[in-house]
Structure 1
């Protein structure tokens, strides 16, 4: 093996190590729940460092749903048992409404009460469908009666 090939191999190896380290750092950061806003049976959870993978998001919900209920009193099912919890990336924080298509929260009495619409995950429950998981920019899943996660075929 020539010196040039060894240098290329070392560079590729080091680049791979850096990328792997960065991915691990991203996936191991703790999720930060910044705020929770309510709108009847819909709850909006503003988060930072949400898991990157579909499986990571679902597992985070399953592990933390009781904590969310205790600490934030969510989800709040309707009389029929239906609820929706949507997780939004908090990004750069609250902003004024100004820009088109921001999500604003009426429960905040300030002009700086909106976020960019960057949903990352949602959980819905209804009598007909049971618990459904939607991963934005990903797939949809259902929690079956045995506790297994089933990928829902897309149309």
Structure 2
């Protein structure tokens, strides 16, 4: 019964990808896209944490080919945009800026151990002032 909803969401994500040509974004003002993108991000995080059931993994693989990407072009482009922004401005963007919202999501995933070590390392190595990014004891927005 619970996987019925899981499969319905997988079909919705697949339909979104087919219609729009890209994965749904969890950080957007479009509530449907944000919901689908958030769900897909949670699935990817669950896969990294090895908490998906065999049935859920089968649904994802059959309904959404290519659903799991490590550091894909979308994530990498956003991370590079953040890195450039920090170099140019020396501080984080305003809270209303999409980069701030994206970094908030990444930080939360990192603190819970769901972001993936290679992404955490990428941010630590390439984003000025975020060398302790993802560390449980690090302040959320410590720059310097």
Instruction: State TM-score, norm by structure 1.
Output: 0.25
Q: Which has the larger radius of gyration?
A: 1
Larger relative contact order, structure 1 or 2 (CA cutoff 8 Å, min sep 6): 2
User: Which has the larger share of helix?
Assistant: 2
TM-score of the superposed pair, with normalisation by structure 2: 0.27
Structure whose residues are more often strand by fraction: 1
